[in-house]
Structure 1
């Protein structure tokens, strides 16, 4: 039996006056591609930020490869193998493409490894 790569169950996130995610459940198997669709303010970005460790859920559980996990930071997400491209991102004009990409890496890599 194949274990799901990512399982979310009962995920809730609220802001003052707004319930962004309410009892969200999602299962993603290895190699699968899923899309989150919804109107502005539906909670899509909030859910992705929870998966990536930018936000903490108010309730619910996250399992990665069959193990319950807490994802307290983007670094922890990347350690698991979870990555994210932000909707609105900034590049530093004074840096090269390589240097801009390297800013998002956790480990120090030899410049030749990146090229």
Structure 2
């Protein structure tokens, strides 16, 4: 996949994650969710850009399929680790990052394995 496509998909899923993530916390009102949509798009964009560069770099520099899959799962594991910390903005960023970047990386892994299976 192209880096631009990975970044766009990751950013869109992170925005969806900003809607979904408050459901994992206390009862959140709709006004708070829209407030979160004002504050957190920049961290979502930064996550998507970093993830896009990581996945594209991995795709270009690594030949081993299992290693590519493992590197694609590392951001998800890091965000899961951060999501279990004390309640802070980093915990919320990690929560919507698990949703957004997790779905993006799973799409990337499925396309990667599909390409490998069709070429062999």
Q: Fold conserved (TM > 0.5)?
A: no
Q: Give the structure with higher Rg (CA).
A: 1
Q: Which has the higher contact order (CA 8 A, sep 6+)?
A: 2
Q: Which of the pair is proportionally richer in helix?
A: 2
Which structure's residues are more often strand, by fraction? 1
